[in-house]
């Protein structure tokens, strides 16, 4: 039995929604690991609510794109790509490499979500 491309694409988008939604909540809640990581890479604590809202908006955009309005999903994926390119750059500029895999993984998910939408989820 093989999975159809549409099913795989939808699963990728759902994973991206869940991952970004979860991280938005941890940012907004001020989770200890988020505070430590942001301080280490030089992101002011006052930025965390805004960054959390951006991740949350991306997750909501992906969800609406998946369920009803695919162009919004494309826009959300592009926004998340830009966000996580910035996160990777922030880690590189701060020379914090031991955990760079996390923003890189979220970047990869955003790129895959964009691919899913352009393939026609």
> Backbone phi, then psi, for 88, in 5-degree steps?
-65, -45
Q: What is the mean pLDDT of residues 66-88?
A: 97
Q: Is the pLDDT higher at 98 or at 4?
A: 98
Residues 6+ away with beta carbon under 8 Å from 47: 38
| pLDDT band at residue 119 using 50, 70 and 90 as cut-offs | confident
DSSP state letter for 100: T
pLDDT tens across 9-62, in order?
A: 999 999 999 999 999 999 999 999 999 999 999 999 999 999 999 999 999 999
DSSP state letter for 47: G
| 65, 57 Cβ separation under 8 angstroms | no
CA pair distance 36, 60, nearest whole angstrom: 26
DSSP state letter for 112: H
Local structure of 75: helix, strand or coil = helix
- Domain positions in the chain are 5-119
pTM score of the predicted model: 0.93
SS3 content of the chain, % helix, strand, coil (to 5): 85, 0, 15
Kindly state the percentage of the chain with pLDDT values over 90: 91
């Amino acid at each position: 039995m093989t999975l159809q491309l549409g099913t795989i694409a939808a699963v990728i988008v759902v994973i991206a929604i869940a991952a970004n939604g979860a991280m938005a909540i941890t940012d907004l809640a001020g989770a200890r690991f988020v505070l430590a990581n942001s301080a280490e890479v030089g992101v002011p604590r006052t930025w965390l609510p805004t960054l959390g809202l951006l991740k949350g908006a991306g997750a909501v955009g992906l969800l609406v794109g998946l369920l009803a309005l695919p162009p919004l999903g494309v826009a959300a994926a592009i926004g998340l790509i830009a966000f996580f390119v910035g996160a990777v750059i922030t880690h590189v500029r701060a020379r914090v490499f031991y955990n760079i895999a996390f923003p890189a993984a979220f970047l990869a998910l955003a790129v895959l979500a964009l691919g899913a939408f352009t393939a026609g989820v």
